[in-house]
C-alpha cells in the first residue's frame, strides 16, 4: 500500500517507519502524503491505542526536508510548503493516542520537528537532534516553537541560531528525550512502552492528549502564520536558494 513508509500493526500498536534510507529518510511530498494518510487511518480506528514513529536504517530517523524538492521554490510556493507541513503536523497533534518517536541517528530540521511532535522520544545512542536550517538561509520557526515547549527558550534559540546539534546524552540532559538505549534495543523499548500505554483506559488517555493540545493550540497556529511570511521572505530574497544549492553541491 505504501512505498515511502512502512506500516506494521501488532494488535493495537502501530509502527510507522520512514522508509527512504538512501537519502536518510528525508521528507519529500510523496513521503509526507503517505505519512498523512497513515495518521488519518489511525485517527479513524478506535482499535489503535498507541503509535511508534521511527526511521529505516541505522543512520537517521530523518535528515529533514528533501532539499532537491525545495531549492527552486518562490516566495508564494514557500508559503504553500509551510501550509503542507502545518497539515501534516496537525495530523500528529490531533491523535488521541500516545505517539512515541524511536529516534535512531540523525533527527534534523523537519525530521527533528516530527520527533518533537511526538509525545515521548526514546533515543538510540547514536541519535542526534538539530535545527541546521540557518546554515541554508532558512528560518526554523516551527522548530523554535516546538523546542520552546520541550527544552525552553534558551536552549531552543541556541539550536536554531547556531545550527548546532545535541547528541543523545545531551538531549537527555536537556529533557528532549526520556531515555537513551543501545540501537539494538530501541524498537523493543519503544514497543514495551507503547503496549503499556495502549492497555490504559482510552478515555483518560484521550483527555490527557486533548488538554495538551489545547494548551499549545494558539501558539501553534500563530507560529504557522508567522512561518508563512518568514519563509516567503527568505525564499523571495534568494537566501534559501543559495544556501540549499551550496549544501547540495557540498554533499555531492
Grid cell 528532549 is found at 176
Check residue 27 and report its DSSP letter.
Answer: B
Query: Residue 252's pLDDT is what?
Result: 44
pLDDT at 251: 58
DSSP-assigned beta bridge partners for residue 9: 14
Print pLDDT tens along the chain (252 aa).
899 999 999 999 999 999 999 999 999 999 999 999 999 999 999 999 999 999 999 999 999 999 888 888 899 999 999 999 999 999 999 999 999 999 999 999 999 999 999 999 999 999 999 999 999 899 999 999 999 999 999 999 999 999 999 999 999 999 999 999 999 999 999 999 999 999 999 999 999 999 999 999 999 999 999 999 999 999 898 877 787 877 777 754
pLDDT at 195: 98
Q: What is the CATH number of domain 5-184?
A: 3.90.226.10
Q: Helix, strand, or coil here: 10?
A: strand
| CA-closest candidate to residue 227, choices 163, 142, 144 | 142
The reported pLDDT for the residue numbered 72 is 85
Domain map of the chain by residue range? 5-184
Distances in whole angstroms, Cα of residue 65 to Cα of each of 1, 21, 101 = 23, 14, 17
Amino acid at each position: 500500500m505504501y512505498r515511502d513508509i512502512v506500516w506494521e500493526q501488532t494488535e493495537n500498536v502501530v509502527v510507522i517507519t520512514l522508509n527512504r534510507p538512501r537519502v536518510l529518510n528525508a521528507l519529500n511530498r510523496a513521503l509526507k502524503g503517505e505519512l498523512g494518510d497513515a495518521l488519518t487511518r489511525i485517527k479513524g480506528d478506535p482499535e489503535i491505542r498507541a503509535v511508534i514513529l521511527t526511521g529505516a536504517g541505522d543512520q537517521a530517523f530523518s535528515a529533514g526536508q528533501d532539499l532537491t524538492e525545495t531549492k527552486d521554490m518562490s516566495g508564494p510556493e514557500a508559503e504553500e510548503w509551510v501550509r503542507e507541513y502545518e497539515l501534516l503536523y496537525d495530523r500528529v497533534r490531533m491523535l488521541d493516542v500516545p505517539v512515541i518517536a524511536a529516534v535512531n541517528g540523525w533527527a534534523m530540521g523537519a525530521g527533528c520537528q516530527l520527533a518533537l511532535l511526538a509525545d515521548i522520544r526514546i533515543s538510540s545512542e547514536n541519535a542526534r537532534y538539530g535545527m541546521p536550517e540557518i546554515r541554508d538561509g532558512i528560518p526554523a520557526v516551527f522548530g523554535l516553537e516546538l523546542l520552546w515547549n520541550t527544552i525552553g527558550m534558551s536552549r531552543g534559540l541556541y539550536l536554531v541560531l547556531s545550527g548546532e546539534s545535541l547528541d543523545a546524552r545531551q538531549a537527555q540532559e536537556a529533557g528532549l528525550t526520556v531515555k537513551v538505549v543501545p540501537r539494538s534495543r530501541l524498537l523493543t523499548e519503544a514497543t514495551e512502552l507503547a503496549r503499556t500505554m495502549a492497555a490504559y483506559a482510552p478515555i483518560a488517555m484521550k483527555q490527557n492528549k486533548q488538554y495538551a493540545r489545547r494548551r499549545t493550540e494558539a501558539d501553534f497556529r500563530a507560529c504557522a502564520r508567522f512561518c508563512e511570511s518568514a519563509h516567503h521572505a527568505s525564499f523571495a530574497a534568494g537566501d534559501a536558494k543559495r544556501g540549499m544549492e551550496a549544501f547540495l553541491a557540498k554533499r555531492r
